């Protein structure tokens, strides 16, 4: 079901799995060195639970999780298979331009990030596009790691658990 502001149709679960299976490298644009940020949590998970070569892109940071940080996608030592984006809505067209310039295979916009024009332009340029989905959650879903990722605890409750 689509709404007027969400007419673009994203890839199915098997198609998302295929994007992840065919990737060897992921560039996280908007990566943060602050543990409270979602990009840091995603980077930590991917670094410890996936085989991907990770590249962190942030024009102001120098190191994240013991790895160097690149100022732009153009500075990476290789073409990233997936460009995972943690940037503001208005920044997405310029991130797409960078992703196209380095010949990335896929553009992945995180939870809450949706930009129909960017999606259509990316697809027209030959990129696979995923929007409004967390790459960590998707990877964990397909690889049986939702429990490790902080999901599927077996407890269904809105009350805080008391450990005796």
Q: What is the pLDDT of residues 103-144, one digit of tens each?
A: 999 999 999 999 999 999 999 999 999 999 999 999 988 876
Structure pTM? 0.85
* Helix ranges, the chain (H): 13-21, 38-49, 92-101, 116-124, 135-142
The CATH number of residue 115's host domain is 3.40.50.720
Helices of type H across 60-110: 92-101
List, for residues 22-48, the tens digit of each pLDDT value: 999 999 999 999 999 999 999 999 999
Nearest to 23 by CA among 73, 82, 109: 82
* Confidence at 6, pLDDT banded by 50, 70, 90: confident
> What percentage of the chain reaches a pLDDT higher than 70?
84
* Number of domains observed in the structure of the chain: 1
Distance CA 90, CA 20 (A): 26
Angle (nearest 5°) at CA 43 between 58 and 22: 100
Domain around 25: 13-142
**Cα pseudo-dihedral 6, 114, 74, 124, rounded to 10:** 0
Residue 163 lies in a domain: no
How many residues does this entry show for the chain? 164
In angstroms, how far apart are the furthest CA atoms of the chain?
A: 56
Residue 67 lies in a domain: yes
> Does residue 21 lie within any of the structural domains?
yes
Is 63 inside a domain boundary?
A: yes
Q: What is the pLDDT of residue 44?
A: 95
Q: Is residue 99 over pLDDT 50?
A: yes
- Residue 154 forms part of a structural domain: no
DSSP code for 11: P
Structural domain includes residue 98: yes
Domain assignment of residue 158, yes or no: no
- C-alpha neighbours within 13 Å on the C-beta side of residue 78: 13
151 within domain boundaries: no
């Amino acid at each position: 079901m689509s709404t007027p502001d969400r007419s673009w149709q994203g890839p199915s679960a098997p198609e998302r799995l295929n994007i992840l299976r065919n990737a060897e490298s992921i560039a996280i644009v908007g990566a943060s060195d602050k543990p409270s940020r979602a990009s840091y949590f995603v980077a930590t998970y991917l670094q410890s639970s996936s085989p991907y070569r990770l590249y962190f892109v942030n024009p102001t940071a120098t190191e994240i999780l013991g790895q160097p940080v690149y100022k732009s996608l153009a500075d990476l030592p290789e073409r990233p298979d997936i460009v995972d984006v943690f940037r503001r809505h208005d920044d997405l067209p310029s991130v797409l331009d960078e992703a196209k310039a380095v010949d990335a295979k896929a553009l992945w916009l995180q939870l809450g990030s949706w930009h129909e024009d960017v999606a259509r332009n990316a697809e027209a340029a030959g990129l696979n596009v995923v929007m409004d989905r967390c790459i960590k959650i998707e990877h964990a879903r397909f690889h049986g790691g939702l429990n490790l990722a902080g999901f599927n605890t077996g407890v269904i409750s809105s009350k805080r658990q008391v450990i005796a």
